[in-house]
Chain A
Amino acid sequence: MAFHLAHIRDYERFLVIDIGNYRVRAAAYSVETSQLKELGYATIRQNRKNFSQGMIADMQGVAKTIEQAMVQSCQSLEEIPQDVIISFSSHDFLFDTVTTEYMRADATSTLTMQELDTMIKRIESASHARVRQKSKARFGFSDDIRLISSTITSITIDGKRIVNPVGFTGGKIVLTVLNVFAPSSEFNILRSIIASLGRKVISLIPTPLVLPKIIEQTDYIDETICYLDVGYSQTTVMVVRDNIIQTFETFPVGVRLLMEMIREKCNYTSLLAIENILCSESAILEAKNAAVLDDFFEYILDMLWAFLQDENIEMTFDSLFVHGHIFENSTIFKKFGSAFEKTATYAVKKHRLNMMVSQDFRHSESVTYGLALTASELLLVKKDPLIRILRYVLYDYE
């Protein structure tokens, strides 16, 4: 379903939920005088049985964890906000970047959101067909896929690149939209979980799209950036240049592989012990652990470069932004940065994404912060159409 401005709800307080394989993170926010304010935050560990090979295996278990996180994050509030924005992760994301250009009948009239609505709607089905072809080429069959989000990544009016086209006049419009698709089965599972929460969903945001959101307000916005989000069972690679998402993909490999490698190699039986190694700056440097870590990094980086090669992305990165709990261990972060540079054969600026989260917030969880930013922007779009709507056009899901 195409985006319509009318779909955006009116809210002031909202909840942000980041559903991960390892943890669920929930935060309550309010938007007051265009300012985002955090009201509460909580993180709850997922039960191991809730996920299997990176996919939801127990819907009720996941719903229960989310509810716990919601309740805990709103402890200080008199009531839990009704509006929720939720992250959506999948290692079967398929995206399609569609560029369309059209001539406006009246070049003197101002561009409106409704006009953009109509154009996005037109290209949706063509994008869907292309993604199905891509799926067939990749997997040998085209799964039942569903459009999760559409993002306007670039607009040019009469050759001039515009950040916010609303209010501009012009004849020739070139519109680039990034459509993200995921298997319907995964979407339906998440929808069932959301339905059980009894909240009004603002939107579902594919997690990879949240990553660049976090640095939008920083100086890095115009750099060529490689984002790497290493989660528990998934790793997302994204390339952004000039604030335009070039490509991204989520792979079903994560810290869990590292933990299994450590267990195999070092004969550890306790996962807690392994977690402790990963958290310890010294323990990870022990020879056998370090060797395993190197192998893991090698795997990840080989995967990353092969992906970039496959996508014909030949660019030199200015910055590397990493995200994931594993990188909170500065030793691991440093080691990875070095390994990246070694494989890239050039130096890059290495950053941890959670360091980009504003100091005003009590937590440093990047994804929840990014989701909150998205939700606040969306609200502002409704209230003030002149605000930048670039990047995220969100859908109302019924």
Chain B
Amino acid sequence: MFYMTMNNKIHTLNIADNISRTAAIKLIKETLSEHSGVILVDVVEVRFPLHRDFFLVLAKKFPRDRLRLRLPNEKSFHLAESLGFEAEIIGEKMSFEKSFSDANIATHNMSMKEYFFYELRRGAAWLRHAISYRFKRANNLPHYKKNNWHTMLIISGLLTSMALLLFIFHFAISKTIISISPVVTVKPTTVNITYRSENFTGGFLDESRARIAKLKQLEIPTEVTEKFRVETIDPESVMNAQGTLTIYNELTTQQELRPQTRFVTADGIVYRTTDWIKIPPTRSINDVTQMGVVEVDVIADTRDESGKIVGTRGNIPAGTDLTIPGLKFNRENIYAKAKSDFVGGEDPKVHIVSKEELERFEKILMEKIKKHAREEVQKFLDAEKEKTGQDFSMLIADVIKIENVEFAIISGQKVGDVADHIDMRATSTVKAIVFDKKGTINFLTQAFRDNLLKGTNKELSLHPETLRVSNLVSRNADDTEIKMTVEMNTATVFDFENPVSEGIRQLKVKIAGDSSEAALKKLEEETQIQDATIKNYPFWVGNVTSNVENIEFVIKK
């Protein structure tokens, strides 16, 4: 209810919250009668209103100088003061003292130690209270302005504008660009083209349905020259080696060799006799076997068994073994040895132009002409292309003929002349059939594009370098008209960039609104797509835009 504390000579009377004003007045009256001195009446917690009427009654009933009022707020403080009362407002310290002393009562019989701890607790509690009080006081009440509705209107207008802008931005600006690497389909485009010679004025410019292209018959004179090395040897110039052979006969019968019998070394060098040779048999005299031996002079052949010139190789050393290849039997029992070193063999020094060799040279020249003819034709075609812009080409292999070939030794020798080298020239007329390549490619391109499924497939690239003839349909005798089936590789992709394609639209609808990962997954399932990347604008948008119109497919370059 109430309680009193004593502080020096001031009695404090705390009026509790459940006391009415008339009861409070009675209490004050009682207290004043019981105690002399000043009474501090604490009405901080009272629930009845502290208006002027209450203070007037106090002023009427009690001497002002004996009352001191502790009040909760400034208004009541000023009211009391205006009526002559001494008053104080409960402040921070008072509020603390009140709450602390409610919870911690100091008794009169406290020991020093107890009182010391009491004061310590009070100090700590005061610090906590002071800090929390500061923070409480720091809270500012929001200030509601008189014309707040203007501010609210502006704010709501701004918010609405922002929302509208975001809405428009999302639907109008938000975009998804999907870069696609499409599956590339390469297949040959085939057309039948009739090539006609220059007399025919058709070609790719002709508007008729038949594909007729130009064909040209070229005659190009060609000439090739070559320097040859003469290898034919003048047999008169070679010196053959001579020497003496010892022939051995291990047989017991006499052997007879006719003239020109060959004696061959292990290297294949051949020596010949000039006369008949009789080789005595092997005898046994007084139990001593005597081999039949005879000596004979031989001369080396000009060429050995492999055809090589012998020359100095014929100068074999003494003791070289030779065999007689002409013997059908007993070749191992009849043999020869070089008695002494052979001499006289010399390499040939003189070459002469032979007919055979000349024929050989002509053949070589012919081959050269043939090879040169293709190059000449191509050179001619390149020059023509540069000059006239016409692009002709030899599309098939057997379009070149070589006629009127003539050979001549331009270094002046003739057959039989001595010479180490001769210069020869071959002249001819190269006849070639060439075809309009440009027209051919145009026909093929046209055919490819005509057959292209617009809206679905899209031309990616043409490959003129793959132009080829797949079939020779017909060819007339004089090659003035040749009909062929030609081919060229072309690459197509699915036309993802066609905005009106229903297929594309369906695909866009399929992925609209999906997350980028889900959309990628769906795209990869499409057979026409090799891989894809998705980019959303603005960058913070994680999903594919819901607006199908703002989804764009772009083919990766």
Interface residues of A (CB under 8 A from B): 53, 91, 137-141, 235, 249, 251-253, 257, 260-261, 264, 295-296, 298-299, 302-303, 305-307, 309-310
Contact = CB atoms under 8 A, between A and B. Distances in A.
A137 B25 CA distance: 25
Contact of B77 (A140, A235, A249): A140
A299 B56 CA distance: 10
B422 to A, nearest CB: 136
Contacts of A305: 60
Given A251-B52, A252-B49, A137 B78 contact: yes
A358 to B, nearest CB: 33
Contact of B59 (A137, A138, A261, A306): A306
Given A138-B78, A139-B75, A310-B56, 19 more contacts: A53-B49, A91-B51, A141-B74, A249-B52, A251-B52, A251-B53, A251-B56, A252-B51, A252-B53, A295-B22, A298-B22, A299-B21, A299-B53, A302-B57, A303-B56, A303-B57, A303-B60, A306-B59, A310-B59
Contacts of A257: 21-22
A299 B79 contact: no
Nearest to B56: A306
Nearest to A235: B53
Contact of A299 (B52, B57, B78, B83): B57
A140 B60 contact: no
B22 to A, nearest CB: 5
Contacts of B59: 306, 309-310
B80 to A, nearest CB: 10
B61 interface: yes
Interface string B10-41: 00000000001110010000000000000000
Contacts of B56: 251, 302-303, 306-307, 310
B53 A137 contact: no
B444 to A, nearest CB: 92
A79 B108 CA distance: 80
B82 interface: yes
B17 to A, nearest CB: 14
Contact of A306 (B21, B49, B60): B60
A235 B57 CA distance: 14
Contacts of B57: 299, 302-303, 306
Given A295-B22, A299-B22, A303-B53, A309 B60 contact: yes
Contacts of B60: 302-303, 305-306, 309
Main secondary structure of the interface of A (DSSP, over half): helix
Nearest to B51: A252
Contacts of A309: 59-60
The list of the 7 closest CB pairs from A to B, nearest first, reads A140-B78, A306-B56, A306-B60, A251-B53, A302-B60, A302-B57, A303-B53
A228 to B, nearest CB: 13
B22 A253 contact: no
B233 to A, nearest CB: 144
Residue among B25, B74, B78 with the most chain A CB within 10 A? Answer: B78
Interface in B106-156: none
A184 B301 CA distance: 155
6 contacts: A138-B78, A139-B79, A140-B77, A141-B78, A252-B53, A309-B59
B61 A140 contact: no
Interface residues of B, number: 20
Contacts of A264: 20
A253 B60 CA distance: 16
Contacts of B52: 138, 249, 251
Contacts of A299: 21-22, 25, 53, 57
A261 B22 contact: yes
Main secondary structure of the interface of B (DSSP, over half): helix
Contacts of A137: 78, 82
B22 A296 contact: yes
Nearest to B25: A299
Contacts of B79: 138-139
B53 A140 contact: no
A252 B49 CA distance: 9
A307 B79 CA distance: 13
A253 B82 contact: no
A387 B225 CA distance: 155
Interface in B76-98: 77-79, 82-83
A309 B61 CA distance: 12
A131 to B, nearest CB: 14
A388 to B, nearest CB: 34
B401 to A, nearest CB: 120
A264 B83 CA distance: 30
Nearest to B77: A140
Contacts of B25: 299
Contacts of B74: 140-141
A261 B23 CA distance: 9
Nearest to A134: B82
A55 to B, nearest CB: 11
Contacts of A53: 49
A389 to B, nearest CB: 33
Contacts of B53: 235, 251-253, 299, 303
A141 B74 CA distance: 9
B50 to A, nearest CB: 10
Contact of B61 (A235, A302, A307, A310): A302
Contacts of A141: 74-75, 78
Interface in B346-393: none
Contacts of A260: 20
Contacts of B77: 140
Contacts of A253: 51, 53
B51 A138 contact: no
Contacts of A252: 49, 51, 53
A181 to B, nearest CB: 16
Contacts of B75: 139-141
A45 to B, nearest CB: 24
B1 to A, nearest CB: 14
Contacts of B78: 137-141
Nearest to A260: B20
Contacts of B21: 257, 299
Residue among B22, B25, B51, B74 with the most chain A CB within 10 A? Answer: B22
B22 A138 contact: no
A310 B20 contact: no
A91 B78 CA distance: 17
A309 B59 CA distance: 10
A93 to B, nearest CB: 12
Contacts of A249: 52
A310 B83 contact: yes
Nearest to B55: A306
A257 B57 CA distance: 15
Contacts of B83: 306, 310
A260 B18 CA distance: 13
Nearest to A252: B51
B16 to A, nearest CB: 14
Interface string B213-253: 00000000000000000000000000000000000000000
Residue among B53, B74, B77, B79 with the most chain A CB within 10 A? Answer: B53
Contacts of A298: 22
Given A253-B53, A299-B25, A306-B60, A138 B20 contact: no
A368 B25 CA distance: 36
B73 to A, nearest CB: 9
Residue among A137, A138, A303, A305 with the most chain B CB within 10 A? Answer: A303
B29 to A, nearest CB: 11
A53 B52 CA distance: 14
A138 B82 contact: yes
B146 to A, nearest CB: 12
A140 B82 CA distance: 9
A27 B122 CA distance: 66
A91 to B, nearest CB: 7
Nearest to B23: A264
A306 B54 CA distance: 10
Nearest to A301: B60
Residue among A138, A140, A309 with the most chain B CB within 10 A? Answer: A140
